[in-house]
Amino acid sequence: MRRAAAAMAALVLAASGLGLATAAAGTATAATGRATACPTGWGSGDKGGATAGAVPLENIRAGRHDCYDRLVFDVPGGGTLGYSVRYVDRLSQTATGDYIPVGGGAVLDVRVGAPAYDPASGAPAYPGRAGRPLPGVDVSGYSTFRDTRFAGSFEGETQIGLGVRARLPFRVVQLPDQLVVDVAHSW
């Protein structure tokens, strides 16, 4: 009986010590503003739905976060945007089938339901050029992103090649007039 009571007391002490360590870690996280772990649960499977749109793409920009790198597509007046995001072995341009080399250990084929041109006039709305890096987007020094390539815009859809370090989990978030692609730094 004494052994059982002693064992129970040891377990209670160990559990309370663990609770203090967890609380201390939580306090350290709150004090620094940085998370110590980055659980995502996002997965690396295909994501998306219908993509063709009528409101032109205005801008593409990138950002870095503690747990992921982010690519944002700005489409003012676009509302909820259609999209398709998936890992591919090689990036092939939608309109021609031409291969577009993209640096990195893995390539995401990102298609956004917004043309890079004004559908009414045909005038360019986003200055991307097929096979070239995205204008104004510099991903050097990013944890996950390695390269960006404009693949083209065809029938109301803009295609981008996003080179990443490895096949990592990603998510797609729809915001009013924006589409956000986040790629985690790790599994």
Q: How many residues does the chain have?
A: 187
Q: Are residues 92 and 64 in the same domain?
A: yes
Is 41 within a domain?
no
State the sign of the Cα–Cα–Cα–Cα dihedral 47, 135, 146, 35: negative
| Whole-number average pLDDT of the chain | 84
Do 3 and 55 have their domain in common?
no
Q: Is there a single domain that holds both residue 88 and residue 158?
A: yes
Question: Which of the two residues, 11 and 93, has the higher pLDDT score?
Answer: 93
- Asked whether residue 42 is domain-assigned, the answer is no
Cα(54)–Cα(144) distance, rounded to whole angstroms? Answer: 31
pLDDT band at residue 80 under the 50/70/90 scheme: confident
Instruction: Quote the pLDDT of residue 132.
Output: 98
Instruction: Give me the mean pLDDT over the 110-131 stretch.
Output: 94
pLDDT tops 90 at residue 17? no
CATH for 166: 2.60.40.3500
The two counts, helices (H) then strands (E), for the chain are: 1, 11
User: What's the predicted TM-score (pTM) here?
Assistant: 0.79
Residue 99: which domain range? 47-184
Reply yes or no on whether the pLDDT at 6 is more than 70.
no
In a domain, 172, yes or no: yes
What single letter denotes the amino acid at residue 22?
T
